[in-house]
Chain A
Amino acid sequence: MTTVTIEVDGKSLPAQAGEMLICVTDRNDIYIPRFCYHEKLSIAANCRMCLVEVENAPKPMPACATPVMDGMKVFTRSKYAQTAQQGTMEFLLINHPLDCPVCDQGGECPLQDQAMDYGSDDSRFLEKKRSLPSHDIGPLIATEMTRCIHCTRCVRFGEEVAGVVELGAPGRGEHMQIGTFLNRSIDSEVSGNMIDLCPVGALTSKPYRFAARSWELQNHPGISPHDCLGTNINIQTLRDQVERVLPIDNPEINQCWLADRDRYSYEAVNSEQRLTQPMIKDGRKWREVDWETAINHATAGITTVLNSGSGNDIGKGIGGLAAASSTLEEFYLLQKLIRNMGSDNVDHRLQQCDFRDDNIAPRFPASEIQIQHYNNLAAVLLVGSNIRKEQPLLALRLRDGCNKKGTKISAINPVDFDFNFDTVESDVAAGGQMVRSLATQAAHVAQIKSAELPFDIKKIADSNPGFEQTANNLVAAGENGLIIIGALAQQHTDASLLKAISQWICDTTGCKLAVLGCANSAAGWIAQCVPGDNGMNAGQMLGQNGSAGLRCFILLGTEPELDSIDGKSALATLNKAEFVVQISAFKSASVMKYADVLLPMAAFTESAGTYINCEGRIQNAKVAVTPKGEARPGWKILRVMGNFLELNGFEQITIDDVTEEINLTDITPSCRLVELQFHPTLSSGEKSTPDLMESDSLIRVVDMPMYRAEVTLRHARALQQTADNPPPAAGLNPATASRLQLNDGNRVKVQNQSGSATLELRTNDRLAENCVYVPAGFMETTDLGRHVRVTVKKIE
């Protein structure tokens, strides 16, 4: 690229030939007003606010759409330029309501600000102002379309960045109106960004509406706990209450975007289900107590269990489970507490059920490619990943790469997910078929690279060739290729096999591997909140309906009946346990049935803590607001419990004292197993492939819907009302449904060995055949437990 020199307002500036003038001035802090231009969106050049004077140009030129040329002389504040800018401002204001005091955007409105600089305080417009109806387009975004200035940023965001065309600009000329088709709701999982993009008060946040004025709010930098990115957020508060969450631009992580999950989860913090006072169960009745009573009660209960053990068995009857969104310090203190009591039963992986590779696992689940390089990949294979809902901002990067760099993306999933990027190949396979599909790709790779295919993979691989391009793409991409192991793969009954085969492919092709763990799971691993050699994992602790024999549980921010894939077993186990301590920010009916003490914990906005993302990046969050009521940060509660239990090593005064105890050196993101091991048998009957099964039984596809996966999200009011959170239903491929003589809308009973669920049937042609999709995370479906083989019958 050639460097040229241009002159702006008398200053000589270097620039790249052909880049737009506004990029040069922005880089050099020369302000040019604008509305339609946004560096992350295509250039529309329609608002005409950025007009400047360019020497020898016959008319004022839009800085956003004028490529620089060597020797170009620009005047941004000359009389000529200002006249043009003022002209545009007058046009923008003639039909814009001038009632900033009642507009939610007031105080942070580019139109308001620029009107101060370029507007006149007098209007010559004597005609009637235009006014437009506003429509309800869903629970997240409030509209007031009369304020719209038609910059089309929202429309371009949907089409270009989010990859869903929901908003458009129907109508011509003055009658053009931004809106959705038939005023349908906006369902994109990143829709809230349109609010940030809208330069006026046309699109504002519905939950935040009229809650505060921007100038009253205090800013607190924070980290979003909901996925493995560690998205940077600005938690805005008023009078010690969280009112809004906005993105903090971090080009290496979230850029200027937020997923709706990051933006609106704060509503849970203010929810009425908050647990704000310690509570203990007296007989069958709950009562509120002070902290001392509560901790005494808790430690007394734990001690009883401890004392009943003897010798090597001391503590073995105790288990600790943490939510994956806990902080590094919370993970650390929980495992320390459990281990110091002589138990090794601690875990945070409630959604996992195959733990066969634990002892050869890398230090933490990681992405071997940095987040910022997700836009530059040559080929990607998604294995069991609905990345758009699991890590929405990574999906945006893949989309960008797909559009700009031609990333070739393939997927092996039980559902042909509606991605916001193109896939070159997509295999819809559930259960054992999914493993087989991946093994088949490995076989292709072996053939292309003339590598020897391990017998264990060969055994599974299908003779039917399957995809034709995926293996080629991965081989061609080499270290610019990536295999992503998503949540659905990690929840799979053969997760270890999927990981091992993927690793073999990566070893053979040079591709990189990413195991995208949920929430802050990397920190969970690093803090050792995973069982040791003698301990039980989450599956063992909660599985088998309590037969593992654990008598006491300490739960940290988790409701295992909803957080784990096998809710039925979890519930049975917990109900059976003698003593359950729940440390949580929320209370719920099911928890109050099995718990004996409830210790109110601070929510993510109320507690400091460390988050480690999938690239091993360590980020610290600070306290934004005081914990509600009597709630206390999780780490403090655990520390005090350690004291009350008279355990060693609980003398920390500040959270930094805790952090310092944790070995955070050398966190290189690698997700390779220490030694490659296959577990080649798709062992038990329930794991067999759908095509091998007798005709009336189906494979259950389990998934954690994006707003059901953690307790915080389950209490975020607006998110719960979105299209991404439909009531639980049984999904069936139309062909399978018709084979079973079932129709969309039927009420059906889904049944397996452990129980049943009565649900409405939804046909979905994106689902693999001979499968039934039943989400976890709902009380209505917990009864189905972990058994994969199910039947579906119509209820008359």
Chain B
Amino acid sequence: MLDKVLLSDASLQEIDNELDKYPKDRRQSALLAALRIAQEEHNWLSDELIEYVAEVIGVPPVRAFEVATFYSMYDLKPVGRHKINVCTNISCMLRGCDQIVNYLQNKLGIGFGETTADGKFTLKEVECLAACAGAPMMQIGRDYYENLSPEKIDTILQALP
């Protein structure tokens, strides 16, 4: 029973819009999107939130949990305001992502999977993001940043609120 409402009306509306894409009896198709929308509102997916989304979609909680733990873009722990995803896969590696990673880690004083003390940045290592021609690259939030250099990183991070 939905005795607690964990999502805003806007988020629930967004989930409804997603549901509209699929046949009526295939609500589970919107599960991935619903989890993303919930995460966007709350920064991360707590167990409680996953169960809530499962109820909204109408699937057993363990199904939603399976999905939340299978896909790498879901955060099952709190993350910083800006999630920096650095690609270290082969094309980026060949073009020096090691230096980029070192630079970021030193600059922010955190390792992969960690969040800065002020809660501003989380650093994550990710697999190839399909921007290999712009290697080395990273994604922050929804945006891609390519052809990185230490100087470019300084400018990018500075511009973030």
Contact = CB atoms under 8 A, between A and B. Distances in A.
Contacts of A167: 62
A312 to B, nearest CB: 62
The winner among A164, A171, A765 for most chain B CB atoms within 10 A is A171
A182 B47 contact: yes
A171 B62 contact: no
Interface string A141-185: 000000000000000000000001111111110010000111000
Interface in A462-487: none
B28 to A, nearest CB: 12
Name the residue in A167, A169, A170, A175 with the highest tally of chain B Cβ atoms < 10 Å from its Cβ: A170
Contacts of A169: 66
Contact of B62 (A172, A181, A765): A181
A181 B60 CA distance: 9
Most buried by A among B47, B63, B71: B63
B51 A181 contact: yes
Interface string B59-98: 0111101101111000000000000000000000000000
A106 to B, nearest CB: 30
> Which 5 pairs between the two chains have the least Cβ-Cβ distance?
A168-B62, A165-B60, A170-B69, A181-B62, A181-B61
Nearest to B60: A165
B51 to A, nearest CB: 7
Interface string B1-43: 1000000000000000000000000000000000000000000
A169 B63 CA distance: 9
Interface residues of B, number: 13
B95 to A, nearest CB: 27
Nearest to A170: B69
Interface of A: 164-172, 175, 180-182, 765
Contacts of A175: 69
Contact of A181 (B1, B65, B71): B65
B26 to A, nearest CB: 16
A170 B62 contact: yes
B62 A165 contact: yes
A789 B60 CA distance: 38
Contact of A172 (B60, B63, B65, B69): B69
Q: Name, among B1, B63, B66, B68, the residue most crowded by chain A CB atoms within 10 Å (CB to CB).
A: B66
A419 to B, nearest CB: 15
A168 B63 CA distance: 7
A171 B47 contact: no
Given A167-B62, A172-B70, A181-B65, 20 more contacts: A164-B60, A165-B62, A165-B63, A166-B62, A168-B60, A168-B62, A168-B63, A168-B65, A170-B62, A170-B65, A170-B69, A170-B70, A171-B69, A171-B70, A172-B71, A181-B47, A181-B51, A181-B61, A181-B62, A182-B61
Contacts of B66: 168-170
Contacts of A181: 47, 51, 60-62, 65
A172 B61 CA distance: 17
A732 to B, nearest CB: 15
Kindly name the residue among A180, A182, A765 whose own CB sees the greatest number of chain B CB atoms within 10 A.
Answer: A182
Given A165-B62, A168-B62, A765 B1 contact: yes
B62 A180 contact: yes
A154 to B, nearest CB: 12
A765 B3 CA distance: 13
A171 B51 CA distance: 16
A14 B107 CA distance: 71
A180 B68 CA distance: 14
Contacts of A171: 69-70
A170 B45 CA distance: 15
12 contacts: A164-B60, A165-B60, A165-B63, A166-B62, A168-B63, A168-B65, A170-B66, A170-B70, A172-B71, A175-B69, A180-B62, A181-B51
Nearest to B48: A182
Contacts of A164: 60
Nearest to B70: A172
Nearest to A171: B69
Nearest to B54: A181
Contacts of B47: 181-182
A172 B1 CA distance: 29
Contacts of A170: 62, 65-66, 68-70
Contacts of B63: 165, 168
A385 to B, nearest CB: 25
Residue among B1, B63, B69, B71 with the highest chain A CB neighbour number at 10 A: B69
B158 to A, nearest CB: 36
Contacts of B65: 168, 170, 181
